[in-house]
Amino acid sequence: MKKAINFLFYLLIAQFIFSCTNSKNDSKNSQSLTINNTLDSLSFELNNLCKKSIIPGFAVAIIKNDKLLYYRGFGFSDLESNKEFNSKTTNFIASISKTFIGLSVIKLVEDGKLNLEDEINSILPFDVTNPHFPNTPITIKHLVTHTAGLQDEFDPESVGEADIILLENIEYEIDSIQNIMDEELSYYRKGIDITPEETLYRYLSKNGKWYSKDNFDKHKPGTRYNYSNLGSELAALIVEITSGMKFSEFTKQYIFNPLKMNNTDWFYENLDSNSISKIYFPNDWNNPKVAIEHPKYQYTAYASGGLKSNIEDLAKYAIEMIKGSNGKGSLLTNESYKLLFRPSLDSLNFDYERSNSPLSDDYNVGIFWSVSSTGMVIHNGGSIGVYSFLYFDPKTMSGALGFSNLPDSSFGRIRSTVYRYERKICQ
């Protein structure tokens, strides 16, 4: 009788455990089904946006913890051949490139080779001094927080040159399009092939050919936020000088290779030509109707916006940033990641009222990474041939990213849609 009671007891326990396991599995399956249905809805909305937009093609991704929940391309990477823009299509990521400069700087700080309080003139081979504040040194911290007092105002085209290299020529069959592009490309055709160091020397040294007081604002270094490509490029040059490596090689060794970003590079010639998207330009910025193919180009000081990647590779980087923000990164120590993302400014550093939007990229700043009022870490990008975004929430360990092959305001709706779905799935 006792054995029968024991058997019955164990049978009931087994049934209970089996029931709980099934319940958990059912819950997981139900949750997975809900997420899949939600992502299907996202694809449906993005497809509709793609059809309505002048943007030929774009790709987006959503990430959670160390997983890529969603990644997909829409539209075309080549309108002429109707080649699809997919998750392996390579395109500019524009100013998201600056976050790779920030990571490189902090890597050298971690290795004891740099200090954020170092004066840049103790490192650079030429002097950079704000003419409005000749006795106030500019530091590395000023560069990486956009408070160096540098601004991108002077146009070298005024002296018949440009800091850009045109990589191809395109003949346009329609005269009206050719006229539009002749005007657009007048700057590019004056480009000269010089090194990043020579470019910055020309802009910022008193003896430089493109030097102008307009390259410096009238606020004391360290006091006012002023987003600057020149400041970013100076930081990349300091990485080169300090490491003894070209910036492109440094990022490949310490970022791309460890993260297995095999389809990411600063230069087109190092990428699979079959994976590269064509880049496009609107026929009219105010009322765009036609996407015009734009010749590929390369800025001579490439680090502030010249990185090319695909959405799968860039997602690997985003996942590492999320892990790093939670003390689990592999490229830097926990303390170094804290420094990378720590907000360093306040309202007095801005000459305008800051937006409290969760995706505002000019509310505060860490090391080139923007930090919104809600703690979202973000960087946007834009140039000819691209609009881009990458953001993540350290609290939910989730985020999203995307880029297009034409800069148009409709990309804002694409980002908003991805953000809405990411929050729905990951919060």
In the prediction, which pLDDT does 31 show?
Answer: 59
pLDDT digits (tens, 9 = 90+) for 115-127: 999 999 999 999 9
Model confidence at 341, in pLDDT bands (50, 70, 90)? very high
Instruction: List the Cα angle 244/129/203 in 5-degree steps.
Output: 70
pLDDT digits (tens, 9 = 90+) for 197-241: 999 999 999 999 999 999 999 999 999 999 999 999 999 999 999
Backbone angles phi, psi at 84, to 5 degrees: -70, 145
Classified as helix, coil or strand, 213 is helix
Contacts of 188 (CB under 8 A, 6+ apart): 162, 164, 166, 295, 297
Backbone angles phi, psi at 371, to 5 degrees: -130, 120
In the prediction, which pLDDT does 260 show?
Answer: 98
The answer on pLDDT for 11 being more than 60 is no
Model confidence at 15, in pLDDT bands (50, 70, 90)? low
Instruction: List the Cα angle 292/296/299 in 5-degree steps.
Output: 125
pLDDT digits (tens, 9 = 90+) for 169-186: 999 999 999 999 999 999
The answer on pLDDT for 14 being more than 60 is no
The Cα–Cα gap between 212 and 154 comes to: 7
Contacts of 52 (CB under 8 A, 6+ apart): 410
Model confidence at 94, in pLDDT bands (50, 70, 90)? very high
Backbone angles phi, psi at 286, to 5 degrees: -85, -30
The answer on pLDDT for 2 being more than 80 is no
Are the CB atoms for 86 and 59 separated by under 8 Å? yes
Sheet of 83-84, strand order: 83-84, 67-78, 57-64, 398-404, 386-393, 377-383, 370-371, 364-365
Classified as helix, coil or strand, 211 is coil
More confident residue, 158 or 354: 354
pLDDT digits (tens, 9 = 90+) for 257-270: 999 999 999 999 99
The answer on pLDDT for 22 being more than 90 is no
Model confidence at 26, in pLDDT bands (50, 70, 90)? low
Q: Quick one: CATH architecture of 42-426?
A: 3-Layer(aba) Sandwich (3.40)
In the prediction, which pLDDT does 322 show?
Answer: 98
Give whole-number Cα distances, 133 to 92, 136, 205, 235, in Å: 36, 6, 15, 20
In the prediction, which pLDDT does 9 show?
Answer: 46
The answer on pLDDT for 19 being more than 70 is no
Structure tokens, 260 = 């297995």
The answer on pLDDT for 3 being more than 90 is no
In the prediction, which pLDDT does 178 show?
Answer: 96
- Which residue, chain included where needed, has tokens 């408070």? 147
Q: Domain residues of the chain, as ranges?
A: 42-426
Please give the radius of gyration of the chain, using alpha carbons only, rounded to the nearest integer.
25
In the prediction, which pLDDT does 10 show?
Answer: 47
Give whole-number Cα distances, 266 to 271, 274, 308, 418, in Å: 9, 17, 6, 27
The answer on pLDDT for 23 being more than 60 is no
Query: What is the 8-class DSSP label of residue 85?
Result: -
Q: Which region among 26-35, 171-180, 278-287 has the lowest average model confidence (pLDDT)? A: 26-35
| 47-57 average pLDDT score | 98
The answer on pLDDT for 12 being more than 80 is no
Chain mean pLDDT for the chain = 93
Give whole-number Cα distances, 9 to 3, 18, 19, 26, 253, in Å: 10, 14, 15, 25, 61
The answer on pLDDT for 396 being more than 80 is yes
| 32-44 average pLDDT score | 87
Q: Letter for the amino acid at 44?
A: F
Q: Letter for the amino acid at 1?
A: M
For the packed helices 311-325 and 334-341, what is the interaxial angle rounded to 10 degrees?
110
Model confidence at 27, in pLDDT bands (50, 70, 90)? low
Three-state SS annotation for 255-322: HHCCCCCCCCECCHHHCCHHHECCEEEECCCCCCCCEEEECCEEECCHHHCCCEECHHHHHHHHHHHH
Model confidence at 33, in pLDDT bands (50, 70, 90)? low
In the prediction, which pLDDT does 25 show?
Answer: 54
Model confidence at 154, in pLDDT bands (50, 70, 90)? confident
Q: Letter for the amino acid at 426?
A: C
The Cα–Cα gap between 145 and 223 comes to: 10
The answer on pLDDT for 156 being more than 90 is no
Are the CB atoms for 229 and 152 separated by under 8 Å? yes
Model confidence at 17, in pLDDT bands (50, 70, 90)? very low
Where on the phi/psi map is residue 149: left (φ > 0), alpha (ψ -120 to 50), or beta? Answer: left
